[in-house]
Structure 1
Amino acid sequence: MQKLCGFLACNYILYVPLLSWLAAQICKTIIDLFLTGKLDLERMFGAGGMPSAHSALVCSMTIATARKFGVSSPFFAFAFILAAIVMYDAMGVRRAAGEQAKVLNRIVDDWMNEEDDEENPLRENGKRLKEKVGHTPFEVLSGALLGILMAMIFPVT
């Protein structure tokens, strides 16, 4: 464990993104608590919501890489491209999957209300598709700004 802590402490480009992810997840959990009035610990580890932890992680990694190696380094180029892909995916494919899950859940709910069959295979044990898997552009932007802020707060080591 001591070696792991030493490894994290000396690896700026690793610990800053991990702390940014953690900060985003904590913020997401607190925001959800205020909006719903109940503590949902799934928000601490689940995808989707405000702010985007994925965006916070990749943006902080990109800024940390720029601060350590400069914007003309191949490391920065790789981090920048990865961040762009992750944020685009969060707003595109993953958000579309969440919207589709909402529609499918509604269809199954409506159909089950019409059918009195208790052994309906579409809803085993009351399971629903996860609807919070992607992000709105505002959630991605908020995560990106949090990641940038986190990378700027910690000194380059």
Structure 2
Amino acid sequence: KFIMALIKERGLNFRRLVQTGGMPSSHSSTVSAMATSVGLIDGFSSVSYAIALSFALVVMYDAAGLRQAAGRMASVLNRISESVYSNHPEQLPERLRELLGHTPFEVFVGALFGISWAFIIHMLL
């Protein structure tokens, strides 16, 4: 995500390292790399791989499903707040962050990055 932002924004933006949402999903990349590494080291039929894969799937589901829904809810709440406080904009509460989750495609691309990096690192070591 940091490299994509570096290219797109033509400059360093360290906030992108910790921001939620965006392409690709760093959550998916991290957990898929972890699960793939465990599989490559301990074997894809090991208990540790099953645990790592389960953890990765839960994190990716959360990134694409639950957090995406929370982002849509934040968008609705922001519009409601703007409507309610339209006559008194100085009292308008701080906007909620709307980019909380990932699209399924962002999660998929993140998972592909993670799996690829795990194989590359495994071959180099």
TM-score class, shorter-chain normalisation, is 0.7 to 0.9
Where does residue 61 of structure 2 map in the other structure?
Answer: 88
Shift of 1:85: 0.6
Quick check: 1:97–1:133 contact (8 Å CA) kept in 2? yes
> CA 1:30 to 1:111, structure 2 compared with 1: closer, same or farther past 3 Å?
farther
Shift of 1:32: 5.7
Question: 2:63 aligned with 1:63, yes or no?
Answer: no
Quick check: 1:29–1:44 contact (8 Å CA) kept in 2? no
Question: 2:2 aligned with 1:29, yes or no?
Answer: no
Where does residue 24 of structure 2 map in the other structure?
Answer: 51
Where does residue 131 of structure 1 map in the other structure?
Answer: 98
Higher deviation after alignment, 80-89 or 38-47: 38-47
Which residue identity lines up with residue 54 of structure 1 in the other structure? Answer: H
Question: Where does the alignment leave 5 or more consecutive residues of structure 1 unmatched?
Answer: 1-24
Where does residue 6 of structure 1 map in the other structure?
Answer: none
Question: 2:115 aligned with 1:143, yes or no?
Answer: no
Which residue identity lines up with residue 147 of structure 1 in the other structure? Answer: G
Q: Secondary structure at the match of 2:85?
A: helix
Where does residue 49 of structure 2 map in the other structure?
Answer: 76
RMSD of aligned alpha carbons: 2.1
1:38-57 deviation digits (Å, cap 9, x = unpaired): 86543221111110000000
Moved over 4 A (4+): none
> CA 1:32 to 1:106, structure 2 compared with 1: closer, same or farther past 3 Å?
farther
Aligned match for 2:84, one of 100, 108, 111:
111
Which residue identity lines up with residue 100 of structure 1 in the other structure? Answer: M
In structure 2, distance between residues paired with 1:117 and 1:147: 44
Identical columns (%): 43
Q: If the length of structure 1 is used for normalisation, what is the TM-score?
A: 0.70
Shift of 1:33: 2.4
Quick check: 1:31–1:50 contact (8 Å CA) kept in 2? no
Shift of 1:152: 0.9
